[in-house]
A and B are shown apart, each in its own frame.
Chain A
Amino acid sequence: MNRPAPLIAIEHVAKSHDGGRTFALRDVTLHVEAGTFLAMVGASGAGKTTLMKCINRLVEPDSGSVHVDGKPVSKLDAPTLRRSIGYVFQGIGLFPHMSVAENIGITPQLLGWSPPDIMARTRELLDLVELPQSYSTRIPAALSGGQQQRVAVARAIAARPRIVLMDEPFGALDPLTRDTIGTAYRALHERLALTTVMVTHDMQDAILLADRITVMSAGHIVANDTPISLMGSIAAADTPPEVAALLAMPKRRAERISAIMTRDTEATGRSHE
């Protein structure tokens, strides 16, 4: 198969935070094709966030290389690189002293867009993330968690990046909001033809939203495939047990929920008799 060059190419990357005693990443290679929604899963400390931060140089690898769109990121000016890549934070990370509009418009402003352009783009984005225009002058603290995360998404895509990185974007939200925003973001990903890398430790999110799932463990990638293939491999003999356990979890929970619902339905049915 003659595949196009990957938009993000991570090759043999290693990273230690303590001068080589322990490694957050060990010889990791990962390619992300343009248009892919990739979810990185794994236990805490598996190296997911570190790996993702290598893409926009929030983390500098000790060895190996990272290419974005064919160019080695280590040769690019870090602020310039980051302005071309959207980023949604764990714990939201909005600037508390700036209004919603200022938060959304920050990267365009850093890129030197004209104020009318920034204003028009902010308006467009508020519509896109389904927030009322009247919110533009509010400060983040005056918004609910879900609304704040919508603003964070708008900020990430404000300067029309091709790539969006998301670090546990929905972790702080209640389940209902999390579902709504996750679905809404997936729609945006399609509509804007984005390439998304999302770190999560929620397998359900990964399965429901992503095209590919990368499973990490102790600084290694232990699996990297589509959700369907991965789910199918749970019982396979060559699947590492920690991967199998991780993958089996949503399925097991879904089965337990359906079991409870069946029992409840029966119980309610009887009480009406």
Chain B
Amino acid sequence: MNERIANALEVLPDYLSRHVLLCATALAFGIFTALPLAVFAARAPRLRAIALTMASVVQTIPGLALLALFYPLLLGISVLTNSMFGFSLPALGFLPTVLALTLYALLPILRNALAGLAGINPAIIEAADAVGMTPRQRLWRVEVPLAAPVAMAGIRTAAVWTIGAATLSTSVGQTSLGNYIFSGLQTENWVFVLFGCAAAAALALLVDQLLGLIEAGAIHRSHKRIALGFAVLALGTGLALVPLSGGTPSYRIGAKNFSEQFILAELMTQQLEAQGATTQRQEGLGSAIAFRALANSDIDVYVDYSGTLWTNVMDRRDVPPRGTMIEEITRHLAERHGVVVLGSLGFENAYALAMRRGRARELGINTIEDLARHASRLTFGTDLEFLSRPEWAALRQAYGLEFAIQRSFSPTFMYRAIEDGSVDVITAFSSDGRIAAQDLVVLADPKSAIPSYDALVLISPKRAKDTRLAGALVPLIGKISVERMREANLMVDRDIDKKSPKEAAQFLAKSLGLSGN
């Protein structure tokens, strides 16, 4: 327990820094967009209606979706700028997150600033005209100070929202306090989840209080309070950003959103840091986003699986032998994307059909071919997506599988179901630690109907010729057996004596005889 808190504290400066930088930038953009917009809109009823409607529509888009939508948009713009001006934009990480959060911050600031301006007694506005103020003087000397308290309340709301919503940025590869939450959820490390929530909430409360001080200063015309609020905010932001000032990390290591990926990213980090390199992790990437991020050099390295690349990136439906597939993938990725396939780590994380050892022996089932003969009397438990995947179509076609009953579960409950016998066969991931832990047997696939899912180390175009990176990672190639990986995954996935991905990575490194850890 204490160790997990220590683990959480260790990465706090980095996560907090990035979270603060993200929120401060988004809020600044939001304020400097919304306030001038409010001033214009206050004078033009039609613009006011349009601006408010658009800001409200943005607010109705779920935060995660808004972040995700910026990814293809920026990717498109990046292609455009690249062809027109010769530079590309990062489509992942900081930029899309800041843009999405800025859009989110607009509505409360805009709405409150407009309300503040509309709430000024018209007689005061007329007085400003009558004493001879120009429209600009009237704005700065009368309207802005009088609307400030209400506008500040909007900025406070925006700040709290932004700090909360910024935790979602982890999913598009921007490190934030959300990394605690996302990785904690995946590895069922509730200490991390709580830690992330508490840290984000504390930050939001603190910022809200400071902005409240400025707001009170604006209401009571107390320059002292306004100055104090700004000073503490500026100082706090400055202090929070200190950990980032050590220069940009040299290697960005990506990970998708499950335990094995976290462990492998840790392992690669340890390898690189042993060489004296600095690193940064971009964890919790969506499966579709990860490869594009690599091809765009937004991340430098990550592990993907041959079958995924084969169907998702290359859009192939045939199932060639393992060697041919890896060869073709390597050639395709190099030619089309400039991505280097460093090699296979040595294990596979494929879809596999698994049964309890006792049950399989009882029915005399060793292969999927054997299974097909009994399937009409058996119950099949799958994860939520398997039945709509090409693997299932391929299996049915190759073996003529027809089960008596098919039931879908979330992964955790699928393993429970096979444990208590309510299903006979499940779809497992071949490197899942629970296969060993629950003494399941993976059925052989003699017709090679399921494409292989070898874990491949992929390197971005930008780092294609980086010998230090290759040098640090080559020792891992071909070294990790599926049994080792299952063991490491189980350390993280199990409920009792749960380990962090970092500890699991240290275990892997030690068992490979790689480092002095």
Smallest CB separation, A166 vs chain B (Å)? 11
Q: Give residues 93-149 of B contacting A (CB, 8 Å).
A: 123-124, 126-134, 137, 141-142, 145-146
Given contacts A96-B146, A97-B145, A97-B221, contact A87 B123 (CB under 8 A): no
Inter-chain CA distance A82–B135, complex, in Å, is 13
Whether a CB of chain B sits under 8 angstroms from the CB of A200 is no
Q: Are B127 and A107 in contact (CB under 8 A)?
A: no
Q: Are B129 and A82 in contact (CB under 8 A)?
A: yes
Q: Are B133 and A79 in contact (CB under 8 A)?
A: yes
Q: Are B123 and A89 in contact (CB under 8 A)?
A: yes
Given contacts A96-B146, A97-B145, A139-B221, contact A107 B131 (CB under 8 A): yes
The count of chain A contact residues (Cβ–Cβ below 8 Å) is: 24
Q: Are A95 and B126 in contact (CB under 8 A)?
A: no
Chain A residues within 8 Å of B124, by CB: 93, 95-96
Q: Are B132 and A93 in contact (CB under 8 A)?
A: no
Chain A residues within 8 Å of B131, by CB: 82-83, 87, 106-107, 110, 155
Inter-chain CA distance A80–B131, complex, in Å, is 9
Inter-chain CA distance A83–B137, complex, in Å, is 13
Chain A residues within 8 Å of B123, by CB: 89-91, 93
Q: Give residues 96-137 of A contacting B (CB, 8 Å).
A: 96-97, 106-107, 110-111
Q: Are A93 and B142 in contact (CB under 8 A)?
A: no
Q: Are B128 and A95 in contact (CB under 8 A)?
A: yes
Inter-chain CA distance A107–B131, complex, in Å, is 6
Which chain B residue lies CB-closest to A107?
B131
Q: Are B127 and A80 in contact (CB under 8 A)?
A: no
Which chain B residue lies CB-closest to A165?
B130
Chain A residues within 8 Å of B133, by CB: 79, 110
Inter-chain CA distance A81–B142, complex, in Å, is 20
Smallest CB separation, A39 vs chain B (Å)? 19
Whether a CB of chain B sits under 8 angstroms from the CB of A187 is no
Q: Are B132 and A79 in contact (CB under 8 A)?
A: yes
Chain B residues within 8 Å of A93, by CB: 123-124, 126-127, 130
Smallest CB separation, A105 vs chain B (Å)? 10
Whether a CB of chain B sits under 8 angstroms from the CB of A58 is yes
Smallest CB separation, B517 vs chain A (Å)? 64
Smallest CB separation, A102 vs chain B (Å)? 10
Chain B residues within 8 Å of A79, by CB: 132-134, 137
Smallest CB separation, A183 vs chain B (Å)? 24
Inter-chain CA distance A94–B129, complex, in Å, is 12
Which chain A residue lies CB-closest to B138?
A79
Given contacts A89-B127, A139-B221, contact A107 B132 (CB under 8 A): yes
Chain B residues within 8 Å of A89, by CB: 123, 126-127, 130
Smallest CB separation, A103 vs chain B (Å)? 9
Q: Are B127 and A110 in contact (CB under 8 A)?
A: no
Inter-chain CA distance A96–B130, complex, in Å, is 16
Inter-chain CA distance A139–B145, complex, in Å, is 14
Inter-chain CA distance A94–B132, complex, in Å, is 14
Given contacts A97-B221, A110-B137, A139-B221, contact A83 B132 (CB under 8 A): yes
Whether a CB of chain B sits under 8 angstroms from the CB of A56 is yes
Q: Are A94 and B146 in contact (CB under 8 A)?
A: no
Inter-chain CA distance A90–B128, complex, in Å, is 14
Given contacts A90-B123, A93-B123, A139-B221, contact A58 B142 (CB under 8 A): no
Q: Are A56 and B128 in contact (CB under 8 A)?
A: no
Smallest CB separation, A273 vs chain B (Å)? 56
Chain A residues within 8 Å of B221, by CB: 97, 139
Which chain A residue lies CB-closest to B129?
A58
Inter-chain CA distance A1–B123, complex, in Å, is 42
Which chain B residue lies CB-closest to A99?
B221
Inter-chain CA distance A106–B123, complex, in Å, is 16
Chain A residues within 8 Å of B134, by CB: 79
Which chain A residue lies CB-closest to B137?
A110
Q: Are B146 and A110 in contact (CB under 8 A)?
A: no
Inter-chain CA distance A253–B287, complex, in Å, is 89
Chain B residues within 8 Å of A81, by CB: 132
Inter-chain CA distance A110–B221, complex, in Å, is 22
Chain B residues within 8 Å of A87, by CB: 127, 130-131
Smallest CB separation, B310 vs chain A (Å)? 68
Smallest CB separation, B500 vs chain A (Å)? 55
Q: How would residues 345 to 379 of chain B score, 1 for a CB under 8 Å from any chain A CB and 0 otherwise?
A: 00000000000000000000000000000000000
Inter-chain CA distance A82–B124, complex, in Å, is 15
Among A83, A93, A107, the most chain B Cβ lie within 10 Å of the Cβ of A93
Smallest CB separation, B142 vs chain A (Å)? 6
Q: Are B146 and A97 in contact (CB under 8 A)?
A: yes
Inter-chain CA distance A139–B222, complex, in Å, is 12
Q: Give residues 75-91 of B contacting A (CB, 8 Å).
A: none
Q: Give residues 140-168 of A contacting B (CB, 8 Å).
A: 155
Inter-chain CA distance A255–B470, complex, in Å, is 109
Inter-chain CA distance A106–B131, complex, in Å, is 7
Q: Are B130 and A82 in contact (CB under 8 A)?
A: yes
Smallest CB separation, B416 vs chain A (Å)? 66
Q: Are B130 and A58 in contact (CB under 8 A)?
A: yes
Smallest CB separation, A187 vs chain B (Å)? 23
Ranked nearest first, the 4 interchain pairs of A and B with the lowest CB-CB distance are A83-B132, A93-B127, A82-B132, A87-B130
- A contacts, CB < 8 Å to B: 56, 58, 78-84, 87, 89-91, 93-97, 106-107, 110-111, 139, 155
Known: A87-B131, A94-B127, A95-B124. 20 other contacts (CB 8 A): A78-B129, A79-B132, A79-B134, A79-B137, A80-B132, A81-B132, A82-B132, A87-B127, A87-B130, A89-B130, A90-B123, A91-B123, A93-B126, A95-B127, A95-B128, A95-B141, A95-B142, A96-B146, A110-B131, A155-B131
* A-B pairs with beta carbons under 8 Å apart, 13 shown: A79-B137, A81-B132, A82-B131, A83-B132, A89-B130, A90-B123, A93-B123, A93-B126, A95-B141, A95-B142, A96-B146, A97-B146, A110-B132
